[in-house]
Amino acid sequence: MTANIRQRGLFISFEGIDGSGKSTQIKMLFDYLNKKNKNALVVREPGGTSISEEIRDILLRNRNQNLSSRTESLLMTASRNQLVNEIIIPKLKEGVIIIADRFADSTLAYQGGGRGINIDWLDKLNKFATHNISPDITFYLDILPEEGIKRNISKTNDRFENAGLKFQNKVRNEYLKILELFPNRIKKINGMQKSSIVHKQILDFIYNNNYEDFKLK
């Protein structure tokens, strides 16, 4: 966690292209923590507050195909700022374990890699929106874009999920670049494995990286 904001909680984020299995793993981790009587909270991006959910609706609605890439980037980070101010910072100060379905890395991957927006500009925007805080741990679930599309074929897809294979490949390639920049924070996990195996690898990583203050065992 980088920032002058003191907190006692743990900030965990999950990243990956659409269909990577984030939602499943987040639920499994949350349920596990509940069984351990840990105070955990799941948030999602974009969204997580009433204002951020309204922004989410604009961003994901399929009819908004004319939304410019810069507008998309600004809306994403506006939603994030509201979530950080209203939920994440206060809850971390209370000692809550925050589990985020996406955070700032998604903006670099989707708006940077996918839409072609300048990464340096997005990085500055992210730092402004988040007060320069970042997750303690990020789990990146890596799958092939073809598999992600296959997994989503039976559901009603949003504007990003409908962006196509080429877009998802660009997003994945950017995620892999981000992983190289933050190897100590981001744990890459093969999302093509069975969900039970992925869950075990997530728990093993937390256990083996000196988070004993949270006494997850």
Q: pTM of the entire structure?
A: 0.92
Residue 186 pairs in a beta bridge with 138
User: What average pLDDT does the segment 105-111 reach?
Assistant: 98
**pLDDT computed for residue 85 by the predictor:** 98
Residue-wise pLDDT tens digits, 27-46: 999 999 999 999 999 999 99
Cβ atoms of residues 104 and 138 within 8 Å? no
- The pLDDT > 90 percentage for the chain reads 83
Q: Per CATH, the architecture of 10-214 is what?
A: 3-Layer(aba) Sandwich (3.40)
- Residues constituting the chain: 217
pLDDT at 128 over 90: yes
Whose CA is closest to 43, among 74, 6, 79?
A: 79
What's the mean pLDDT in 120-125?
98
Give the start-to-end residue ranges of the domains of the chain: 10-214
Q: What is the mean pLDDT of residues 137-141?
A: 98
Q: What pLDDT shows up at residue 4?
A: 46
Residues facing 41 on adjacent strands: 98
